Amino acid sequence: MSLIVQKYGGSSVADSDSIKRVAKRIISTKKAGNDVAVVVSAMGDTTDDLIDQAMDIDSNPPAREMDMLMTAGERISMSLLAMAIHAQGDRAYSFTGSQAGFVTDARYGAAHIRSVKPQRVARALSKGNVGIVAGFQGVSTEGDATTLGRGGSDTSAVALAVALGADVCEIYTDVDGVFTADPRIVPTARRIPTLSYDEMMEMAAAGTKVLALRCVEYARRFSMPLHVRSSFSHRPGTLILPQDVNPSRIPNV
């Protein structure tokens, strides 16, 4: 049995129908014989909407209160996804970043992960449940809510995968992997089947927005295999792997 961590971005959980589709995919992965933990971003433009509301009230809001506000979006999507899985006949438990054991420094808006101790998530998995974690967030050593900055949910997913000892971390987005150019703009762009961490980091540093740079750095540090794929299709994605790992050994490909 493999342990798979799946991360779904905002476009993948943008509305109720999308959340139901993601729930179906999670259950399908679980029924194939895998344990599944999930990290979710906020729905659609929720984070941007929260920022706009904050700026309407205070053009220079306190950083601590902004982080408290920013964690709300992921809490909405995680609980709705757990409900969707329950409605389709399976079991899931949702956890905030702090409940999932993400401890960070107190750099509001751009916090760095100090440690991840996901005992509650591991217990949920051991009982046959899906564990769903709110991405992009944690708790400081002082007990305050913190956020990891843009792309933080990718980093949350990799950190959770490492802490749980997962076999692969799947990053679901709205494109079928990493391409030679943006396929939504360049129709002739080609999907790249496999990449090394260094190659992916170079692409991220050059402006490729499929994966956050910090996420790839974290994966390289702990040799965590990544699989970038679309939540809107079942076509092959892009594997980002250590040099000594055979792609055929990665589960759920």
Tokens found for residue 33 = 């014989």
* Three-class secondary structure of residue 4 per DSSP: strand
Bigger pLDDT: 203 or 126? 126
pLDDT digits (tens, 9 = 90+) for 12-50: 999 999 999 999 999 999 999 999 999 999 999 999 999
- The confidence score (pLDDT) of residue 210 equals 83
Tokens found for residue 109 = 């808006």
Domain containing 25 equals 3-249
* Three-class secondary structure of residue 191 per DSSP: strand
What CA–CA distance (Å, rounded) separates 162 from 248? 20
pLDDT digits (tens, 9 = 90+) for 167-193: 999 999 988 999 988 888 888 989 999
**Phi, psi of 95, deg, nearest 5:** -140, 135
What is the tally of structural domains in the chain? 1
What CA–CA distance (Å, rounded) separates 106 from 84? 34
pLDDT digits (tens, 9 = 90+) for 49-83: 999 999 999 999 999 999 999 999 999 999 999 99
- The confidence score (pLDDT) of residue 212 equals 85
* Enclosing H/E stretch for 116: strand 113-116
* Identity of residue 40: V
Tokens 């090394």 belong to: 196
Share of the chain above pLDDT 90, in %: 84
Which CATH number goes with the domain that contains 187?
Answer: 3.40.1160.10
Q: Kindly report the pTM of this predicted structure.
A: 0.95
* Enclosing H/E stretch for 145: strand 145-147
